[in-house]
Amino acid sequence: MEDLERQLKNALARKDAPDWFEAKVMASIRRDGGVQARRPALRWRWASALAVTVLVIGGVTWQHERMVQERAAGEAAKARLELALKITRVKLQRIEQRLNETERDN
Amino acid sequence: MKIAYMAFVALLPVAAQEFKIPASLDKLADKATEVVDVTLDGSMLQLASRFLSEKDPDEARVKRLVAGLKGIYVKSFEFEKSGEYEESDVAALRSQLKGPGWSRIVGVRSKRNGDNADVFIGSDGGQVTGLVVIAAEPKELTVVSIIGSIKPEDLRDLGGNFGIPKMEIGGHKSTGAKEE
């Protein structure tokens, strides 16, 4: 029993930390602090890259969509022009036909 | 000779009033079995022109023609039976073209078919500024208004485009105003 108490007393006795301990801890704190200081910059870099990517993809998609819409509108306008010229042609042709008939009758 | 005289008269330096297809004509849409309404203003013509190929000779010709135009407006009503539109509807159109600067280059009144048709040319300072075709048939009424620099030769150039046969306006065939 006495032996056990002695062992416990020795084990729990106050001992000063070795000289190298403080230096190691301080070095560790400095190292961790530096990493933490660098992290926000890294995060901003990633956020910027993501924003640029989103902008580029958005811009390309918008441009493509605009071209598709413009092509559709252009083709529709061309079709309308075609229809208008066809009607004009048919009417002028009929007028010419009537003129020819009139000439023949006279 | 007749054509040369008509062209001279049509190009007298008097500004033509702008012709507008009256909105009142739209009421005929209710009676019509088929309605065609084409509105191509300057910007739409420019847009259409961008989609006309320079490589295709026919399209290239239309492209050149369209370059001088400010608008093409077409209204056509087809009816099941005759007498669905009033003479006053047509008179309202013709009255706009009685002003200075407008000349009727072709007029047809056919008692046989009941067809009435007129072709008018508008001019300003010797330049053609518009062309209007009014075709009033018993079961059909069509108005075509082409605004801008268009010449009879341009009309002839329409030949072959979009399946349009060649017109002989300004050529050897007489197109003088005739009435039955």
**Contacts with A84 from chain B: Cβ below 8 Å:** 38, 40, 72, 74, 144
pLDDT tens digits for B72-87? 999 999 999 998 998 8
**Whole-number mean pLDDT of chain A?**
85
Q: Compute the radius of gyration of chain A from its Cα atoms.
A: 45
Q: Are A88 and B146 in contact (CB under 8 A)?
A: yes
- A59: closest CA of chain B, how far (Å): 23
**Contacts with A75 from chain B: Cβ below 8 Å:** 51
Question: What's the average model confidence in pLDDT over A62-85?
Answer: 93
From the list A85, A93, A101, the residue facing B161 with the nearest CB is A85
- Residue B25 has what pLDDT? 86
- Higher per-residue pLDDT: B140 or A14: B140
Contact A95 B50 (CB under 8 A): no
The domain limits of chain A are 18-105
d(CA B130, CA B149): 7
Confidence of residue A1 (pLDDT cuts 50, 70, 90): low
The domain limits of chain B are 2-163
Residues in chain B predicted with pLDDT less than 70, given as ranges, are: 1-16, 151-180
Q: Does B35 touch chain A (CB under 8 A)?
A: no
- A57: closest CA of chain B, how far (Å): 27
d(CA A86, CA A78): 12
- The H or E element that residue B150 is part of is none
- Residue A50 to residues A39, A42, A55: CA-CA distances in angstroms? 17, 12, 8
Confidence of residue A61 (pLDDT cuts 50, 70, 90): very high
Contact B162 A96 (CB under 8 A): no
Tell me the percentage of chain A whose pLDDT exceeds 90. 36
Does residue A68 register a pLDDT over 60?
yes
- Residue A72 has what pLDDT? 94
Contact A102 B135 (CB under 8 A): no
**Contacts with A88 from chain B: Cβ below 8 Å:** 74, 133, 144, 146, 158, 164
- The H or E element that residue B39 is part of is strand B34-41
- Residue B19 has what pLDDT? 83
d(CA B47, CA A71): 9
Report the residue of chain B nearest A93, measured CA to CA.
B167
- The H or E element that residue B122 is part of is strand B116-124
- Residue B163 has what pLDDT? 40
- Residue B157 has what pLDDT? 56
Q: How many residues does chain B have?
A: 180
- B124: closest CA of chain A, how far (Å): 23
Contact A92 B168 (CB under 8 A): no
Q: Compute the radius of gyration of chain B from its Cα atoms.
A: 17
From the list A73, A88, A99, the residue facing B175 with the nearest CB is A99
Contact A89 B74 (CB under 8 A): no
From the list B112, B117, B180, the residue facing A95 with the nearest CB is B117
Question: What's the average model confidence in pLDDT over A17-46?
Answer: 77
- Residue B162 has what pLDDT? 37
Strand B69-78 and strand B102-109: the pairing is unpaired
- Residue B165 has what pLDDT? 44
d(CA B99, CA B20): 13
- Residue A23 has what pLDDT? 85
Chain centroid to CA B140: 15
Contact B158 A93 (CB under 8 A): no
**Contacts with B113 from chain A: Cβ below 8 Å:** 98
ipTM above 0.90, yes or no: no
- A80: closest CA of chain B, how far (Å): 6
